[in-house]
Chains A and B, each alone.
Chain A
Amino acid sequence: MSQNTLSNPRIDDPDDFYASLIALHNGLTTEQSQSLNSKLILLMANHIGDRAVLDEMLSAVETDSPQG
């Protein structure tokens, strides 16, 4: 599993997908948005399935700036 595979754009019309994603949150409280995002992550993780890929993703975001 390489960085390139994670990096490679795979979504057609990214602006349209992004707009749909943000629209999902319209009118939600922060708590509700967090919950929605968590469900989305779990669904996507299950769809990916491959533990090696998931671990790759976990470390990709872990190296990001810590809280605060």
Chain B
Amino acid sequence: MRGVRQIYPFTRPPELDTDKRTRVPVIIVGAGPIGMAMGLDLDLQGIPNIILDDDNKVSIGSRAICWAKRALEVVDRLGCGERMLDKGVTWNLGKVFFGDRKDPVYGFNMLEEEEQQFPGFINLQQYYAEEYLIDEIDKRELTSIRWENEVTAVSQGDEGATLSVSTPEGKYQIDCDYVVAADGARSPLRKMLGFDFGGETFQDHFLIADIKMKAEFPAERWFWFDPPFNRGQSALLHKQPDDVWRLDFQLGWDIDREEELKSEKVSERIHAMLGDDFEFDFEWVSIYTFQCRRMDRFVHDRIIFTGDAAHLVSPFGARGANSGLQDVDNLGWKLALILQGKAPARLLESYNDERIAAAKENILNSTRATDFITPKSEVSRIFRDATLELADEFEFARRFVNSGRLSIPTILDDSTLNTEDHDSFDSKLVPGSPAIDAPVKINGKESWFLKSIGNNFTGVYFARQGANAPEGAAQLEHDDIPVNTLVVSDMDVAGSGLLLDHKGLLKQRLDGQPGTYYLFRPDQHVVARWREFDSQAVRDAVARATMQAH
């Protein structure tokens, strides 16, 4: 097996050589994709933070490979999106096969609308994503990673939290205002604090074999129900960069784990699937079972849980790391406003509520997919097979086929942070939706809409004429929580920071009739919109979105 990657050296922390206690605004526990993204987001918000990790290397094996569009958009805001896109294998199409049929019974496209910077999905080994995040962290002033720094105890009070940390050269304590737990599915922090993690474990095993081979299969997600090479079970084929292919075989519950992991046995399965006449190398082999669980609450005063530490889903649907990155997106700006004294601590309740709603949605989708893939009863299996047989011929049946409902962003339409629409809009977006991308030109250069918004509250105004912002918009830039207004025009007129909607797609996607004003949260979600600009209405919406008393 390959996959030996760089070791990140332990550096002696200054706390070991002084009695003075360090205090930082935020300590993040866990340098996985979620913890590192959190560090970068807080750095962008101007909040100093330290990431502690008990290990000294990136993920072993490819692990998470499917990065969804919204997750890529989040990571792009943090500075790593394009690198992931360049290295990753882009795919939008999925195909579903059933039994002995050679042709797929069903296919789907993950990208509903073209002309966006990021595709429906890319596949990229988790270790590449982590390495890119580490490189980006190295460039930043306000975030850093301490490798081989293991948290052994945590306590909290009214003023903050204290962590006890063990290193190869000694122990120290460190204080902070908030702890972000991003320490994964087995979260030591969650266990130390004795928090619940309710849900279910599915009685099934899956074998992942990532292999290196030269193959001509297209960059699509292929899923088999009951194929000849794995009778009564399912299988998956997926392309990764560097000629690595993800093969996933369902094994059932009653298996001999050691036997199944033997390379002869795995090779036998691979040859049965792909034919005898080819060569390959193993990159990573693993057997896993899966679980759907979540904590009752993600926010426990000064300690906030994110990613797998807070919620766990089956891999079918790619809703793990992708939803964890949406946690980060949701939390960063809220923590920053609280730490800057611009919003009350109860704003964290909205993180709790919004991301629990998302976790419920992800767990529901993941559980349903699992029930379809591994029916729990004979009659459930008969219905499943009947659905697949009908799917060949009948479009309606294809809608029932569930090989994993792939990650799409959660729409926070129930959030109390939103300001309800009073005008009507002919757009897929509603208050609570993440923004949709579109090509724009800025100062004559091709760019993307999503690159223009985020990190702060941003107003987007569809100009009536010329490139003028509405009267009163400029004053909003000087508020305690500032709102910068971008002007969108489909006419190429001179104006600094003007977004030229040269293809008219932004107008179309947002129903941007002249005079329309959208307000986006720092995480690029729509929070309010109007047909007429009114600076007081914008201020009220910002106050509502940041839980100011009013």
Minimum CB–CB distance from B162 to chain A (whole Å) comes to: 45
A9 located at the interface, meaning its Cβ lies under 8 Å from any Cβ of chain B in the complex: yes
* Pairwise interchain contact B395-A22, C-beta atoms closer than 8 A: no
* Pairwise interchain contact B383-A14, C-beta atoms closer than 8 A: no
A7 with B379: in contact, given A15-B365, A15-B405 (CB under 8 Å)? Answer: no
B464 located at the interface, meaning its Cβ lies under 8 Å from any Cβ of chain A in the complex: no
State the interface size on chain B (CB cutoff 8 A).
21
Bound CA span A43–B393, Å: 24
Please, which residue of chain B has its CB at the minimum distance from the CB of A9?
A: B396
Bound CA span A9–B401, Å: 12
Chain B residues positioned under 8 Å from A65 (CB to CB): 389
Minimum CB–CB distance from A5 to chain B (whole Å) comes to: 10
Chain B residues positioned under 8 Å from A10 (CB to CB): 396
CB-CB contacts below 8 Å: A11-27 with B: 11, 14-15, 18-19, 21-22, 25-26
State the interface size on chain A (CB cutoff 8 A).
21
Chain B residues positioned under 8 Å from A26 (CB to CB): 377
Tally of contacts, chain A with chain B, CB under 8 A: 51
Chain B residues positioned under 8 Å from A38 (CB to CB): none
A8 with B395: in contact, given A18-B400, A19-B371 (CB under 8 Å)? Answer: yes
Please, which residue of chain A has its CB at the minimum distance from the CB of B394?
A: A7
* Pairwise interchain contact B393-A3, C-beta atoms closer than 8 A: yes
* Pairwise interchain contact B383-A21, C-beta atoms closer than 8 A: yes
* Pairwise interchain contact A14-B371, C-beta atoms closer than 8 A: no
B378 located at the interface, meaning its Cβ lies under 8 Å from any Cβ of chain A in the complex: yes
A 39-68 binary contact with B (CB < 8 Å = 1; else 0): 000000000000000000000100011000
B458 located at the interface, meaning its Cβ lies under 8 Å from any Cβ of chain A in the complex: no
Please, which residue of chain A has its CB at the minimum distance from the CB of B380?
A: A22
A28 located at the interface, meaning its Cβ lies under 8 Å from any Cβ of chain B in the complex: yes
* Pairwise interchain contact A19-B368, C-beta atoms closer than 8 A: yes
Bound CA span A64–B378, Å: 20
B191 located at the interface, meaning its Cβ lies under 8 Å from any Cβ of chain A in the complex: no
Minimum CB–CB distance from A32 to chain B (whole Å) comes to: 9
Which of B387, B389, B395 contacts A9, CB < 8 Å?
Answer: B395
Minimum CB–CB distance from A30 to chain B (whole Å) comes to: 7
B516 located at the interface, meaning its Cβ lies under 8 Å from any Cβ of chain A in the complex: no
Chain B residues positioned under 8 Å from A6 (CB to CB): 394, 396
B478 located at the interface, meaning its Cβ lies under 8 Å from any Cβ of chain A in the complex: no
Please, which residue of chain B has its CB at the minimum distance from the CB of A3?
A: B393
B 388-416 binary contact with A (CB < 8 Å = 1; else 0): 01000111101110100100000000000
* Pairwise interchain contact B379-A33, C-beta atoms closer than 8 A: yes
Which of A7, A21, A30, A64 contacts B396, CB < 8 Å?
Answer: A7
Bound CA span A3–B393, Å: 9
Please, which residue of chain B has its CB at the minimum distance from the CB of A26?
A: B377
The list of the 5 closest CB pairs from A to B, nearest first, reads: A14-B399, A9-B396, A33-B379, A7-B395, A7-B394
